[in-house]
Each structure stands twice: as structure tokens, then as C-alpha cells.
């Protein structure tokens, strides 16, 4: 599907950058005229994806996170969050609610939350080589754009 517009950001896996990534995607997605609920859902999904990189991909070090977002011709927002960290051994298991490798303080709900707030969620990973999470959310047409 054709991209109408896009951004690419790269930042270190520091927890302070989670809020930056969330805000940057929200500002970018605003051009689609989303409802507050749609925007909140996108921000939450981005927050979960970036937090997964910080906590799971680079648990003992600071690594690189790449975030790409695109507005597609069907007025959907596609977001890709990629890391080059330790990867996921069993993606199916990692996507199960309550499963975590992050210790007792983690809920294990990251992928479940992403999946519930987005229309599409794809996860690709290779142990020792990193993970790529691709999410897509269709933005409803409102007001004068709908007619």
C-alpha cells in the first residue's frame, strides 16, 4: 500500500525515550484527524513496543531502537519498532497474556495490549539478532473528509 507520508526516528534504549517516541508518533498520526480514543490507543501501543525493547531486548545494556511510522493511502497508521537486541526465542509463547521474561515487576501484557489497541500486529524475531514489531491502525474518516 502506498505511503502518503512517513517518519523515521532512531534513539538509545533509555527509559526517558519511551515518552518521546509516544509523543512523536502521536504528533505524526494527528494529521489523519484521529479521535482522541484512536490517538490514545496508538500512543499506548507505541509505549508498549518501545518499553519491550528497553526491558527485554537490552536488559543489561543500552542499545539502538528504530521507530518508523507511515500514513498509508487508506488513512491507516503503520508503526514499526525495531531493535537489535537479544531477540525472542518463542514468539508464540511471548505473545501469551501474562508471559514475561522481565521479572516479577512486569505484567507480561505488552503484546496483548498492542494487539487489542491496533488492527494488526506482526512480530518477527531472531535470537541474538533482534525483534521487529509492526502495528497498523485504521483511522476512521470523520466530518468533511468522510463525505
Determine whether 52 is an active site residue: yes
Per annotation, catalytic residue among 75, 95, 106, 115: 106
Phi and psi at 35, nearest 5°, equal -70, 165
Per annotation, catalytic residue among 18, 52, 78, 86: 52
Helix, strand, or coil (residue 118)? coil
Determine whether 18 is an active site residue: no
Per annotation, catalytic residue among 48, 78, 86, 136: 48
Determine whether 17 is an active site residue: no
Cβ atoms within 10 Å of 70's Cβ, excluding its own: 19
CA quadruple 91, 96, 98, 100: dihedral, nearest 10: -10
Which three-class secondary structure string do you get for 50-104?
Answer: HHHHHHHHCCCCCCEEEEEEEEECCCEEEEEEEECCCCCCCHHHHCCCCCCCCCC
Catalytic residues: 48, 52, 106
Amino acid at each position: 500500500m502506498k505511503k502518503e507520508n512517513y517518519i523515521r526516528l532512531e534513539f538509545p534504549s533509555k527509559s526517558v525515550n519511551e515518552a518521546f517516541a509516544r509523543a512523536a508518533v502521536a504528533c505524526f498520526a494527528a494529521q489523519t484527524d484521529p479521535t482522541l480514543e484512536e490517538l490514545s490507543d496508538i500512543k499506548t501501543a507505541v509505549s508498549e513496543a518501545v518499553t519491550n525493547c528497553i526491558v527485554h531486548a537490552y536488559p543489561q545494556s543500552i542499545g539502538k531502537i528504530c521507530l518508523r511510522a507511515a500514513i498509508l493511502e487508506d488513512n491507516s497508521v503503520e508503526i514499526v519498532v525495531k531493535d537489535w537486541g537479544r531477540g525472542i526465542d518463542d514468539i508464540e509463547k511471548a505473545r501469551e497474556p501474562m508471559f514475561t521474561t522481565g521479572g516479577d515487576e512486569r505484567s507480561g501484557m505488552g503484546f496483548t495490549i498492542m494487539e487489542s489497541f491496533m488492527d494488526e500486529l506482526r512480530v518477527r524475531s531472531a535470537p541474538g539478532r533482534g525483534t521487529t514489531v509492526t502495528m497498523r491502525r485504521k483511522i476512521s474518516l470523520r466530518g468533511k473528509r468522510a463525505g
